[in-house]
Amino acid sequence: MIPGNFEYHAPESLPAAVGLLGELGDDARVIAGGHSLIPMMKLRLAMPEHLIDLRKITDLDYIKVEGGTCTIGAMTTQHTLINDAALKTAAPIVAETALQVADPQIRYQGTIGGNVANGDPGNDFPGLMQCLDATFTLEGPEGQRDVSAREFYEAAYFTARDDLEILSAIAFPVCEGGYAYEKQKRKIGDYATAASAVLLSKGADGMCSKASIAMTNLADTPIYCEDASALLVGSSLDADTLAKVVTACIDVIEPVDDNRGPVAFKKHAASIVLKHAIDRAWSRA
């Protein structure tokens, strides 16, 4: 389990890192927490010739809640996300999700930027970010641009991020109403068999006034369930509506047969986590 050889760089600022990546091009990869990349390098599924470590760029490690928006620096670890008081109030679904990612040691190292930039369908944050309608900020040789999380994922390990761009920040609106991240996994430290992120708001009339649903590890990208979310709005979450919502979600996922089970089982697991997530989110709305 020895990774291939590479040259190591640890620039001290984001412009320096972007410059270095631009110079070294395709032969270079950035490393954040390393807890997806190093396992891939051990298996020689990744063999970068240069690693650009972002660990010294301390101004990528922050959480800001301001003017109705949460902004999180790419190098913020999952451990920090769990323990940040302002974020717990503004978007409690983030800590609820982070607590279901991997195990304690991995959460001290794994960063939010690495988790969303990685492009592994098994990662939990991409679905959460689609549910939250987050925006990713990318910095490249041509400057800065923003991409919506709902448009970022193209296929497994393929995203809208250009190879020469570094993801610097993630922003999403402060949450209102109820929330839940529900994950079915075989054991602690495992990726999801099926997981679902749900945000629901209740209007003055007791009906659902806003809804957002996304699913994790049930296709080669996370899936934002636009139709299912729309079905919930205006309803009282009656049994009839819920059945339609579950069907609408199952219709848009494309799970594959693997060591976590056959397709039929995954669809079943997806419907269960979705129902649990909706129940919990509604009870908190």
Partner 1 sequence: MKKTNITLNVNGQAHEANVEPRELLIHVLRDHMDITGPHVGCETSHCGACTVEVDGRSVKSCTMFAVQAEGSEITTVEGLGNPDKLHVLQEQFKEHHGLQCGFCTPGMITRAHRLLLENPTPTEDDVRFGISGNLCRCTGYQNIVKAVLSAADIINNETEESLA
Ligand X SMILES: Cc1cc2nc3c(=O)[nH]c(=O)nc-3n(C[C@H](O)[C@H](O)[C@H](O)COP(=O)(O)OP(=O)(O)OC[C@H]3O[C@@H](n4cnc5c(N)ncnc54)[C@H](O)[C@@H]3O)c2cc1C
Contacts with ligand X by CB under 6 A lie at 29-37, 39, 54, 74, 101-102, 106, 109-111, 113-115, 117-118, 123-125, 166-167, 189, 191
State the minimum distance, in angstroms, from the CB of residue 78 to partner 1: 11
State the minimum distance, in angstroms, from the CB of residue 202 to partner 1: 31
State the minimum distance, in angstroms, from the CB of residue 236 to ligand X: 34
Binding site for partner 1 (CB under 8 A): 1-8, 10, 31, 34-35, 38-39, 41-42, 51, 53, 55, 79, 102-106, 108-109, 188-189
Q: Nearer Cβ to partner 1, position 30 or 285? A: 30
Q: Nearer Cβ to ligand X, position 36 or 201? A: 36
State the minimum distance, in angstroms, from the CB of residue 144 to partner 1: 27
State the minimum distance, in angstroms, from the CB of residue 110 to ligand X: 2
Using Cβ positions, the residue closest to ligand X within the complex turns out to be 114
What is the distance between the alpha carbons of residues 79 and 102, in angstroms, rounded to a whole number? 11
Residue 79's binding partner, choosing from partner 1, ligand X, none, with beta-carbon cut-off 5 to 8 A by kind?
Answer: partner 1
Spatial contact of 92 and 47, defined as CB atoms under 8 Å apart: no
Residue 167's binding partner, choosing from partner 1, ligand X, none, with beta-carbon cut-off 5 to 8 A by kind?
Answer: ligand X
Residue 85's binding partner, choosing from partner 1, ligand X, none, with beta-carbon cut-off 5 to 8 A by kind?
Answer: none
